[in-house]
Amino acid sequence: MRLNLGAGNCPLDGWENYDIKTGQPCFPLAHADGTVDEIRASHVLEHLSFRDATAALRDWFRALKPGGRIWVAVPDIDKALAATDGKRLFYVMGGQTDEHDMHRSAYDAERLEALLEDVGFEQVSEWQGTAGDCSSHFVSLNRVAKKPQTAPVRRTATVKVAAYCTHPRYEAVAARNIIDGALKPLGINLHCSQGVFWGQCMQRMFQDAIDRGVDWILSIDSDSLFTAEHVRHIMDVFAQTPEADALAALQCRRGALFPLLTTGNHQTGDEIRIDGRPLKVTTAHFGLTLFRVEKFKTVPKPWFRSVPGKTGDWDDDRLDDDIYFWHVWREAGNTIYVAPSCSIGHLEEMCVVYDQNMQPKHQYVHEWRKENGLQ
């Protein structure tokens, strides 16, 4: 059985042709696991959000037989932006002739290949497009990949995981409900601690995990927003990345455009190329982060500690509890990675005010304070 998803005006003989305009969505497929020989998705993924594109590839991987192949074509974002025929904006954003002709994601070769490999495909290579089909367009990026004959080891790994989270005296109920809803379907128990000394609470809970014989610790911040799929995904990546002793999801700083991470040779504001592969970093966060418990054996206590700056003041050169942890973690020979393919939410404090034109304007609290002369 061969499926041609998103066939549109280019149906293929010998294939089962799907077209969203006739009520045949590209995913989830109704086919049972391991029953499809080949899947062709020519200029389909860019019509899905990044999250849905990943979900679609996972569903197609599920439906394919071991050894089955997937043929994917998408607009190459680099070629599209470099186009000189006056149509580059349409190559990027879609023709927008109807509700289905919209592009919601974009890819270059590195990201598409990383996405295919992250889902589980192997032997990713280039293929030549078919005449008369979008895959033959000069901006098309075409990759073919194979589902392994045997299931990846990560699908059969068994680990004991416990989740730990500290809570402030007053917390966002919406975030707590989302966190509980993400962990419950996975059968992961959430252990909580409350107190003003965050580092002390974290060390006690991590020690509890070690005493319980847990394999992986999953740390959670009370202001993180994520789904069960995010948790599944980061656990999959962790299992596939044995060189990572700690792995954090991608999370944005509050009130800024920078991710919560640092890399050794870069300063805040430097450009870092991020694709779907895990990125080695020097510091991360605890919002949705996995740790291999065995790696704590070499880390001296205290694991968390606040250290003032050189002058004894709590200036920019201070070390807060979380950053201190990452330093001693690395000094003990352990690694830290961030999974760009797992992007989670970070709850923000914002306000909305009417501007001089009586239009609602959303601002970070620090922006509102500055605008009103309070800092």
Supply the pLDDT for residue 38: 96
Q: CB 79: neighbour CB atoms within 10 A?
A: 17
Task: Return the pLDDT at 25.
Answer: 85
- Cα–Cα dist 351/339, whole Å: 31
Q: Is the pLDDT of residue 225 over 70?
A: yes
Is there a contact between 203 and 303 (Cβ–Cβ < 8 Å)? yes
- pLDDT value, residue 251: 94
For 164-203, the pLDDT digits (tens) are 887 766 667 778 888 988 998 888 988 988 777 889 999 9
Q: What is the mean pLDDT of the chain?
A: 88
pTM of the predicted structure, to 2 decimals? 0.58
| Residue 132 reports pLDDT greater than 90 | no
Domains and CATH numbers, the chain: 2-151 (3.40.50.150), 154-346 (3.90.550.40)
Instruction: Give dist(CA 253, CA 73) in Å, integer.
Output: 34
Closest by Cα among 299, 305, 300, 303 to 335: 299
Residue positions counted in the chain: 375
Cα distance between residue 69 and residue 355, in whole Å: 55
Q: Which helix (H) or strand (E) holds 210?
A: helix 198-212
Cβ atoms of 369 and 375 within 8 Å: the answer is: yes
Residue 283's identity, in one-letter code, is: T
| Whole-angstrom distance, CA of residue 332 vs CA of residue 327 | 9
% pLDDT > 70, the chain: 93
Determine if the peptide bond prior to 28 is cis (ω within 30°): yes
Distances (CA, A) of 139 to 70, 85, 135, 276: 20, 11, 9, 21
Distance CA 80, CA 257 (A): 26
pLDDT tens-place string over residues 52-90: 999 999 999 999 999 999 999 999 999 999 999 989 999
State the Cα–Cα distance between residues 209 and 206, nearest whole angstrom. 5
pLDDT at 363: 87
Of 2, 68, 57, 51, whose CA–CA distance to 27 is shortest? 57
Among the residue ranges 144-153, 213-222, 315-324, 326-335, the one predicted with the least confidence is 144-153
* Other residues' Cβ atoms within 10 Å of the Cβ of residue 8: 19
- Give me the phi and psi of 268, to 5 degrees please: -60, 130
Omega cis (within 30) before 259: no
